[in-house]
Amino acid sequence: MKAGLTRVLATGTFDLLHPGHLMYLEQSRALGDELVVIVARDANVKHKPRPIIPQDQRLLMVSALEMVDRAILGSESDMFSPIEELKPEIITLGYDQHFDAILLKEELATRGIDAQVVRLEGHDPCPLCSSRVIVAKVLEERCPKRDRSGAKD
Amino acid sequence: MKAGLTRVLATGTFDLLHPGHLMYLEQSRALGDELVVIVARDANVKHKPRPIIPQDQRLLMVSALEMVDRAILGSESDMFSPIEELKPEIITLGYDQHFDAILLKEELATRGIDAQVVRLEGHDPCPLCSSRVIVAKVLEERCPKRDRSGAKD
């Protein structure tokens, strides 16, 4: 990274890409000069149903977006190690991401990472701006209704 | 379009974006200097199950790809009218698109559109490189198995 340029880091699962992802990444990119994205590995998605799209495909799709300069998979064992390497000036959190910005900032400080943590607020209302809602629409249209009681969200 | 530059036109539904779409669009872009994409309207998708993602969202997602210079929705009534306006030098067909290249070329000629029609062959083997297969995976994982006999593909 050239001196004086601001590297922004965004993170997420990015399953079934939708405009909510685009908005998060556009807002992130607008905060600096370069946007690097860490895409969560399948094994590390534990707080919601496992992704429909496998990690390598999710990485390919995020890499193809115009506002993304570079995307990489997260670390299998230590989510902070790629952040230590990338040395971003800014780390963005989406409005619905489950990290606590203050705890994250504290952990970064103990690692000597001096990054600003920015929680992005607001998002376009969009009927299918959520991977969960896209999955629900597939089930609504293609999974026979009377038999869907066992479907997870 | 500036003189001497080659405009390439790609078309498709682009439901649930996947790397097969990326490959088609990258190959298309590589044939010229500018890539314009016509995204099919919901009402005009008749040869396969209706899209999961509505047309405006599909358009947004295609527009966000780095190899796409511009994307527009197709015409409601006449698929050739945007082609007449755009005057592409090259129109690409994906390896699995249902158009007949020769019939298409004939119809273009009767409209006075002098575009080369290129059928792109070959594609990366990719387990989820198809909107239909992504839908099938959602059903496989989230729609109870014994009850899926009535699910459409």
Q: How far is B128 from chain A (nearest CA, A)?
A: 7
The pLDDT tens digits of the residues spanning A101-142 come to 888 999 999 999 999 999 998 776 788 999 999 999 999 999
Sheet containing strand A70-73, edge to edge, reads A70-73, A34-39, A7-12, A90-93, A116-119
Whole-prediction pTM value?
Answer: 0.90
Which pair of tokens denotes residue B17? 């974006």
Q: How far is A68 from chain B (nearest CA, A)?
A: 9
Report CB contact under 8 Å: A66, B61. no
> What does the alpha-carbon distance between residue B153 and residue B113 come to, in Å, rounded to a whole number?
36
CA B67 to chain centre: 14
Chain A residue with CA closest to B22: the answer is A64
> What does the alpha-carbon distance between residue B67 and residue B118 come to, in Å, rounded to a whole number?
18
Amino acid identity at B91: I
By the CB < 8 Å criterion, does A148 face chain B? Answer: yes
Report CB contact under 8 Å: A67, B65. no
**A to B CB pairs, distance under 8 Å:** 101
Asked whether B137 and A15 are in contact (CB, 8 A), the reply is no
The pLDDT tens digits of the residues spanning B51-65 come to 999 999 999 999 999
Helix axes B19-29, A55-63, angle to 10 degrees: 30
> What does the alpha-carbon distance between residue B127 and residue B137 come to, in Å, rounded to a whole number?
10
Q: Which residues of B touch A141 (CB under 8 A)?
A: 52
* Domains observed in chain B: 7-123 (3.40.50.620)
Q: How far is B32 from chain A (nearest CA, A)?
A: 19
Report CB contact under 8 Å: A142, B127. no
Report CB contact under 8 Å: B148, A144. yes
Instruction: Give the DSSP letter of residue B12.
Output: E
By the CB < 8 Å criterion, does B45 face chain A? Answer: no
Instruction: Give the DSSP letter of residue A117.
Output: E
* ipTM of the complex model: 0.89
The pLDDT tens digits of the residues spanning A26-85 come to 999 999 999 999 999 999 998 888 999 999 999 999 999 999 999 999 999 998 999 999
Contacts of B74 (CB under 8 A, 6+ apart): B11, B38, B39, B40, B41, B44, B82
The three-state secondary structure class of A142 is helix
Report CB contact under 8 Å: B17, A52. no
Contacts of B110 (CB under 8 A, 6+ apart): none
